[in-house]
Structure 1
């Protein structure tokens, strides 16, 4: 039982200064200034605790009863306080203030990742968080939010990542073209995913073209990748459409590409840097 939960100590409300300070983290400016962000719900809190990223955890009395393994050091708050901190319609009673875990691209590349996902100019937080989750599942060593991309610590992005925001090396680089150059200089083949690519993903996989350390570039669903990034990539790759669908959405296409690489890199003959 934490010091905030002693008998006779009233739970924090939405007007308590620490709750007010945490609520400000809904704004990107405050997240950037403090290097903190909010993660809500038991799954995200569990992953945050495992990553030792939690600065403070707020929990309702009901959440304490349902998740005693997570709330040993929690600060007790009212349902109104949780409603103010959470962004979901039906909050689950847990919100953590977390330290951002981002790294610089050179530090991520020093670990010799064999698979990297680059989210270039992707503004939709749901798409970005889903690709982050997929990249984590596919074994990517780093995920780069490049150019004018969404903040990976945006609440919707964090929720869509389902805890993966705590698992991979997360990089923010405002210069997407420079990031691509660094990836190349560190021995990664840079592949741009585009519906208009001149290389078929299946053909690339069949001929061993995915068996090298690879960085995939993904652009926004509405506008695709900028021309400069398409030109900078080693290959421009399209996902084959075998049926009558006009296209795949961004998250689905990213999953196909990342898992094709993950499969190729698992083979014994896959080249290492």
Structure 2
């Protein structure tokens, strides 16, 4: 039995999303270095254009990020950017899709996600600020039928990013 994932996925030619689709995965004011590493790895797994971490200072534990991201740390295009730089990026041809439990958010599984999107989730403790929520083209939430009503940010971005991917490859 073959358990080598590289060999396995090299045989799957039909799983690439169209050239007209692109995703940037972004996180707002994260404080947990492991979450940053997990999001870098997620973006690399998905073939995202880049991973963005919006925060005013880079006070993070690089060794933890590197350990969690694995070889994606050096292979994936990722960076820290300021809030102002993020807001300027919003006019670059990508629509902003936020994953947030806010007024007006719709169930992600009932929403058509944009072909070119910046997928953004907020900090572990405070979510997204109101001004960013108002800038979003789409606000979605992930339904949680169980007793716990929150997901770790890297898990939430994973669910949302792969729902975007599923929508891009469906025929």
Calculate the TM-score normalised by the size of structure 2. Answer: 0.78
Matched ranges for 1:178-193 at <5 A? 178-183=85-90, 185-193=91-99
**How far did 1:169 drift?**
1.6
Aligned length: 152
Q: CA 1:153/1:246 → structure 2, altered by over 3 Å: closer, same or farther? A: closer
Residue 149 of structure 2 is matched in structure 1 by 246
Aligned with 2:38 (options 103, 113, 130): 130
Q: CA 1:227/1:149 → structure 2, altered by over 3 Å: closer, same or farther? A: farther
Measure, in 2, the Cα distance between the counterparts of 1:192 and 1:114.
Answer: 16
Aligned with 1:159 (options 60, 63, 67): 67
Q: Give the aligned CA root-mean-square deviation in angstroms.
A: 2.4
Measure, in 2, the Cα distance between the counterparts of 1:202 and 1:244.
Answer: 20
Residue 221 of structure 1 is matched in structure 2 by 124
Calculate the TM-score normalised by the size of structure 1. Answer: 0.51
Higher relative contact order (CA 8 A, sep 6+): 2
Q: CA 1:161/1:152 → structure 2, altered by over 3 Å: closer, same or farther? A: farther
Bigger radius of gyration: 1
Give the unaligned 5+ runs of structure 2.
1-19
Give the unaligned 5+ runs of structure 1.
1-111, 269-273
